[in-house]
């Protein structure tokens, strides 16, 4: 079937063409078609092959320098006729290749984590299979499926509309037309109809903005209109996160500094060689190779890859805590969150609305006391079931299964509780017309056949419905609405709200069956109503949220409640949870609209509750907080929440009750719709940021230590070792090996540190501050200098106790530099807590012993020790040698532990 002609077919012909019915496909047929047509996915840009990813690892400037250095070493060995000196060049190549393999492995691990997150955050859609509604992943949709569309849904594929109840879609992403398109079901007889005029079709990736409907899937994946556009695209590059960009910038700065330092060291070595043995006796190759090795060791070239893998693993940890992060930048931002703007219903509360009170004119009832509703109370409950989009079914155990909005489920549950059958009610009084709820009207209207007439039932905000009522229904019949009666209902609404009840009003209007009911719109259906009564319901606060609010306060995070509920209801819940205190304010959307920007900003810090808000209000609130420079998180679940979710630094959508539009706009999706999950996610985000800083701390302090070691060797070494004109404290091979052994494994392990005890006792991170703020730069500096000093000291002691044996001294230096950095990793676990008081990090222990084993192999296997690294075998060492190595190696850990202890005493 040509897709361009689908709109020309009638509904019946379309169903025949795709061999399906309005009850949908069978599960068996759906599986066959899925295997035949494949998943409903757009083809992604072709991924780079493993070999190309491997080659990408050699693009780094310092890696190119290393390869050049290895080639020079090969050339020098050939020219000098010393094939044994090829070893150093081969080692450099080997280390470069190992680094590249590690880089590819890290990248693959990160990609795998991100792909798993993508799969978890896949949008869903509701289809009919075997005549029943089921929710499936969008990629499982196949041609012939019957899709149920509601406001807030993404269209999962190209579809032909079968039923439209005020259905409108936003097709601006596809056609550029900003006005939502009203959908029809009739066939279009014209040929060559432009895309935007095919009103009986809807297209993959567009959004339902209003109403609801049924549609049959006509094209999936790359066969859809958006798929045709996607096929024109070649490839996309993954965007680096802000932190990765900062690290890349830092790397370039460090590279420049390192090259300057290395150039100085190279010049000093040349001058020293010239002074001691003459220009012609300078060991140019050795000097050049050690300088290049030092340059590479000084730059944490693996840091961006390490950050990516730490972030990716952090995303996986968040999934375990029921929070799905859609992007890496969101993980970074999450840890800096200062303001959480939270919806009340379902996030701060249980999202299990329960009606506890009803009110007819001058007649209040507690639901617990209702045994068998009669008269107008029966009508109130029945009309609540009818003006309602809850799907009610019986499961195999004959128990009611309700799917829908919590408020509407409460109306259905009221019927069930009072022994009325909602399924029977819905069958007895069929719906023939409706005006769906929207946030502007705050009303919903349905029209039903009741006996020999149409009855339109309207439910919604009491303040609006009371004002639209012309009569009130009471046991003795209808009476005209008067000021006193209106005041009676307004007072009762206020009293219910004061008890933290959410209040809905229910009213109705009658029409003869001769009325062309489907042509009636808001002005007719929702004015001059007969007010029937009120229902008051409560959604109790989640028990764990109160503790979570306490934790956010301790963490310097402000929680703001933004809700569509009545102001008094919002205040009651906010006070119960500890969000609203005596010094704080609660305002409505109307009060906010009346404020100028200046007045609003002056009161911003005091306002903790916003009630009866519009989508524009939410955007204004988020914008105002962002302008203070703070990081703002915003939660929501509906279409009307999408703009504010998108505007926030961290947009958070509800995974259970959230619409697909809200999820699409969000950075994070809560799979349990729970506020405490947000707090747990912030805690995880803070831990991730803290661990990245630990990796930076470790790598830079170790690199500084290596630079200081060589710098001391070529400066003070001139004085201390006058008999060694071409002395190398460490060879190029030794420097590169230490850099390889200590960098990647230990840094990644530090990135997986458990949460520190006080992670939520600190204020949010100030993004305007440097990475090295709050003393980090100082700690990196003094600890790096100390490592450099003890390593140089190791050479001096080794040189003296071995009778001026340079190889033996280099072996001790090699061991001290490597082991001291391994021990130093434990210093970095916390800036103030002793490493011995922290929760064990099994990954760090594995990395420590693995790196230690590799290091010991280099100095115990004779061939490796003598021919590759040019060191002694430690198997021949004396006790004093081990005392020197272990004593100096562990000294950074001892020093920092003493400093932490003294600092803790000062704070007591």
**Do 650 and 666 contact (CB within 8 A), yes or no?**
no
Q: CA torsion angle for 180, 219, 161, 393 (degrees, to 10)?
A: -110
The percent of the chain in helix, strand and coil, each rounded to the nearest 5, is 55, 20, 30
CA 32 to each of CA 23, 573, 607: distance values in angstroms, whole numbers, following the listed order: 18, 51, 57
CA 164 – CA 172 distance, rounded (Å): 20
Spot the catalytic one: 139, 170, 343, 667: 343
**Which SS3 state, helix, strand or coil, does residue 545 take?**
helix
Q: CA torsion angle for 705, 708, 710, 711 (degrees, to 10)?
A: 170
Q: Among 809, 835, 831, which residue's Cα sits nearest to residue 822?
A: 835
Q: Note the Cα 191 to chain centre separation in Å.
A: 46
Per-residue burial over 218-252, b if 16 or more Cβ lie within 10 Å, else e, is bbbbebbbbbeebeeeeeeeeebbebbeebeebbe
CA 229 to each of CA 205, 221, 249: distance values in angstroms, whole numbers, following the listed order: 12, 11, 36
CA 435 – CA 518 distance, rounded (Å): 10
CA 586 – CA 570 distance, rounded (Å): 8
Q: Note the Cα 279 to chain centre separation in Å.
A: 61
CA 128 – CA 141 distance, rounded (Å): 11
Helix (H) or strand (E) holding 508: strand 502-512
CA 126 – CA 134 distance, rounded (Å): 6
CA 329 – CA 631 distance, rounded (Å): 13
338: CB partners within 8 A, 6+ apart: 556, 557, 558, 630, 631, 632, 764
CA 868 – CA 667 distance, rounded (Å): 50
Q: How many helices (H) and strands (E) does the chain have?
A: 31, 26
Helix (H) or strand (E) holding 843: helix 842-860
Q: Among 518, 492, 519, 515, which residue's Cα sits nearest to residue 503?
A: 492
CA 428 – CA 433 distance, rounded (Å): 15
Specify the length of the chain in residues.
Answer: 908
Q: Among 306, 391, 413, 500, which residue's Cα sits nearest to residue 134?
A: 391
CA 139 to each of CA 40, 88, 152, 457: distance values in angstroms, whole numbers, following the listed order: 4, 54, 18, 38
699: CB partners within 8 A, 6+ apart: 300, 302, 303, 743, 747
- The token pair that represents 726 in the structure block: 């071409």
**Residue with the two structure tokens 């920007």:** 597
91: CB partners within 8 A, 6+ apart: 733, 736, 737, 868, 869
> Max CA-CA distance within the chain?
120
CA 864 – CA 873 distance, rounded (Å): 9
Q: Note the Cα 261 to chain centre separation in Å.
A: 41
CA 685 – CA 691 distance, rounded (Å): 10
424 is catalytic: no
Q: Tell me the catalytic residues.
A: 343
């Amino acid at each position: 079937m040509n897709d361009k002609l689908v709109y020309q077919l009638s509904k019946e012909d379309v169903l025949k063409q795709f061999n399906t019915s309005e009850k949908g496909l069978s599960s068996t047929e759906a599986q066959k078609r899925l295997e035949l047509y494949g998943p409903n996915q757009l083809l992604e840009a072709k991924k780079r092959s493993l070999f190309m990813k491997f080659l990408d690892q050699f693009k780094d400037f310092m890696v190119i320098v290393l390869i050049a250095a290895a080639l020079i070493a090969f050339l020098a060995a050939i020219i000098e006729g010393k094939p044994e000196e090829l070893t150093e060049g081969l080692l450099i190549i080997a280390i470069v290749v190992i680094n590249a393999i590690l880089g590819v492995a890290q990248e693959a691990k990160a990609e795998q984590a991100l792909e798993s997150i993508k799969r978890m955050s896949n949008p869903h859609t509701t289809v009919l299979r075997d005549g029943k509604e089921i929710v499936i992943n969008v990629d499982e949709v196949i041609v012939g499926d019957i899709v149920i569309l509601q406001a807030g849904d993404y269209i999962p594929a190209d579809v032909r509309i079968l039923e439209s109840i005020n259905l409108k879609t936003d097709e601006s992403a596809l056609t550029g037309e900003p006005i939502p398109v009203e959908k029809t079901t009739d066939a279009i007889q014209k040929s060559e109809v432009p895309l935007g005029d095919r009103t009986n079709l809807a297209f993959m990736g567009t959004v339902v903005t209003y109403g609801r409907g049924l549609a049959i899937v006509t094209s999936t994946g790359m066969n859809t209109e958006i798929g045709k556009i996607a096929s024109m695209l070649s490839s996309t590059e993954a965007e680096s996160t802000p932190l990765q960009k900062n690290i890349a910038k830092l790397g370039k700065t460090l590279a420049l500094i390192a090259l300057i330092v290395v150039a100085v060291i190279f010049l000093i070595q040349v001058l020293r060689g010239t002074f001691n043995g003459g220009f012609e006796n300078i060991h140019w190759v050795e000097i050049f190779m050690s300088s290049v090795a030092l340059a590479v060791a000084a730059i944490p070239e693996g840091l961006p890859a390490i950050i990516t893998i730490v972030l990716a693993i952090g995303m996986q940890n968040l999934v375990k805590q029921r929070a799905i992060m859609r992007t890496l930048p969101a993980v970074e931002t999450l840890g800096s969150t200062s303001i959480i703007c939270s919806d009340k219903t379902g996030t701060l509360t249980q999202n299990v609305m329960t009606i506890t009170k009803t009110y007819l004119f001058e007649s209040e009832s507690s639901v617990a006391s209702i045994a068998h509703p009669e008269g107008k109370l029966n009508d109130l409950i029945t009309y609540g079931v009818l003006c309602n989009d809850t799907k009610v079914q019986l499961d195999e155990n004959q128990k009611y299964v309700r799917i829908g909005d919590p408020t509407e489920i409460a109306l259905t549950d009221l019927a069930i509780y009072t022994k009325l059958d909602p399924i029977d009610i819905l069958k007895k009084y069929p719906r023939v017309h409706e005006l769906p709820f929207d946030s502007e009207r705050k009303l919903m209207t349905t029209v039903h056949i009741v006996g020999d007439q149409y009855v339109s039932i309207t439910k919604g905000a009491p303040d609006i419905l009371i004002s639209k009522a012309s009569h009130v229904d009471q046991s003795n019949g209808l009476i005209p609405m008067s000021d006193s009666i209106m005041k009676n209902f307004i007072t009762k609404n206020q009293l219910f709200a004061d008890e933290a009840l959410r209040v809905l009003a229910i009213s109705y209007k009658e029409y003869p069956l001769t009325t062309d009911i489907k042509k009636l719109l808001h002005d007719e259906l929702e004015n001059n109503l007969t007010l029937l009564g009120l229902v008051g319901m409560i959604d109790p606060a989640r028990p764990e949220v109160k503790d979570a609010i306490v934790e956010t306060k301790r963490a310097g995070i402000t929680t703001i409640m933004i809700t569509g509920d009545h102001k008094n209801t919002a205040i009651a819940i906010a006070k119960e949870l500890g969000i609203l205190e005596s010094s704080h304010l609660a305002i409505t959307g109307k009060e906010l609209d009346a404020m100028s920007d200046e007045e609003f900003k002056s009161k911003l810090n005091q306002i903790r509750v916003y009630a009866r808000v519009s989508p524009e209000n939410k955007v204004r609130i988020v914008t105002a907080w962002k302008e203070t420079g703070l990081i703002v998180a915003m939660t929501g679940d509906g279409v009307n929440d999408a703009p504010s979710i998108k505007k926030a630094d961290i947009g958070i959508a509800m995974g259970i009750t959230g619409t697909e539009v809200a999820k699409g706009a969000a950075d994070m999706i809560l799979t349990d719709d729970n506020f405490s999950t947000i707090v747990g996610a912030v805690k995880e985000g803070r831990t991730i940021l803290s661990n990245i800083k630990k990796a930076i701390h470790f790598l830079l302090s170790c690199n500084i230590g290596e630079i200081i070691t060589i710098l001391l060797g070529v400066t003070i070494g001139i004085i201390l070792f006058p008999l060694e004109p071409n002395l190398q404290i460490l060879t190029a091979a030794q420097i590169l090996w230490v850099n390889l052994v200590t960098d990647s494994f230990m840094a990644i392990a530090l990135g997986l540190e458990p949460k520190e005890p006080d992670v939520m006792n600190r204020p949010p991170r100030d993004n305007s501050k440097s990475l090295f703020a709050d003393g980090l730069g100082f700690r990196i500096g003094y600890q790096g200098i100390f490592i450099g000093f003890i390593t140089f000291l190791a050479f001096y002691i080794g040189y003296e106790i071995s009778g001026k044996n340079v190889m033996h001294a280099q072996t001790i230096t090699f061991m001290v530099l490597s082991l001291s950095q391994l021990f130093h990793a434990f210093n970095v676990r916390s800036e103030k807590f002793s490493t011995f008081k922290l929760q064990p990090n099994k990954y760090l222990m594995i990395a420590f012993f693995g790196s230690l084993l590799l290091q010991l192999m280099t100095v115990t296997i004779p061939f490796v020790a003598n021919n590759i690294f040019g060191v002694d075998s430690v198997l021949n060492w004396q006790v004093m040698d081990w005392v020197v190595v272990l004593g100096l190696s562990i000294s950074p850990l001892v020093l920092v532990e003493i400093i932490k202890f003294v600092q803790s005493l000062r704070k007591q």
